[in-house]
Structure 1
Amino acid sequence: MKKYEQVIRYAMQMELDGSSFFKEKAGQVLSETAKELFLTLADVEMDHYNFLKKHLDKYMENDTFEIDGSFADIDKDIFEKRAEKEHVDAALKESDVPDITILRMAYLIERDYKEFYEKASKEADDPVIKELFEMLSGWEAGHESIFKEEYDRRMKEYMTLPWGG
Structure 2
Amino acid sequence: MSANQAVIKVFEYALNQEETGKMFFQTALQRLGIGAAVSAFKRLIAEEEKHIAFISRILDELHQGKEVDPGQLQDLVLEPTDYFDERAKKEFMEQCVQGSMVPDVTVFNTAWLIEKDLSEFYASMASKAQGKVKDALSMLSRWERQHEMFFRQFRDKLSEAYAQMPWGG
CA spacing shift, 1:39–1:13, aligned 2, 3 Å? same
Which one is further off, 91-100 or 56-65?
91-100
Aligned partner of 1:26: which letter?
A: L
Question: Which residue number in structure 1 is paired with residue 7 of structure 2?
Answer: 4
1:130 maps onto 2:134 in alignment:
yes
Structure 1 segments, 4+ long, off by >4 Å, are 73-76
Structure 2 residue 160 is the aligned partner of structure 1 residue 156: yes
Aligned residue identity for 1:117: Y
Question: What's the counterpart of residue 57 of structure 2?
Answer: 54
Q: In structure 2, what is the equivalent of residue 36 of structure 1?
A: 39
Is the Cα–Cα contact under 8 Å of residues 127 and 134 in structure 2 kept in the other structure? yes
User: Do the aligned partners of 2:54 and 2:76 also contact (CA within 8 Å) in 1?
Assistant: no
- Asked if 2 retains the 8 angstrom alpha-carbon contact of 1:114 and 1:138, the reply is yes
Structure 1 gap segments, 5+ residues each: none
Counterpart residue number, 1:94: 91
Alignment partner of 1:119 is 2:116: no
What is the CA–CA distance in structure 2 between the aligned matches of 1:104 and 1:21, rounded to whole Å? 12
- Residues 37-92 of structure 1 show CA distances to partners (whole Å, capped at 9, x for unaligned) of 21221121111010011111112113422365435x6656x2x2x32xx5356434
Instruction: Please state how far the C-alpha of 1:129 moved relative to its aligned partner.
Output: 0.5
- In 2: Cα distance, 1:17 partner to 1:89 partner: 29
**Which runs of 5 or more structure 2 residues have no equivalent in the other structure?**
none
Cα gap change, 1:59 to 1:24, in 2 (>3 Å):
same
Alignment CA distance shift 1:87-1:4 (3 Å): same
Provide the aligned C-alpha RMSD in A: 2.1
TM-score w.r.t. structure 1 length? 0.85
Give the distance between the partners of 1:117 and 1:60, measured in 2 at CA.
20
1: CA distance between counterparts of 2:41 and 2:7? 31
Do the aligned partners of residues 90 and 106 (structure 1) sit closer, same or farther apart at CA in structure 2, a change above 3 Å counting?
Answer: farther
Q: Partner amino acid for 2:43? A: T
Give % identity.
28
How many matched pairs?
Answer: 158
Aligned partner of residue 62 in structure 1, secondary structure = coil
What is the TM-score of this pair, normalised by structure 2? 0.83
Q: Which moved more, 1:52-61 or 1:29-38?
A: 29-38
d(CA) in 2 for partners of 1:63 and 1:90?
Answer: 47
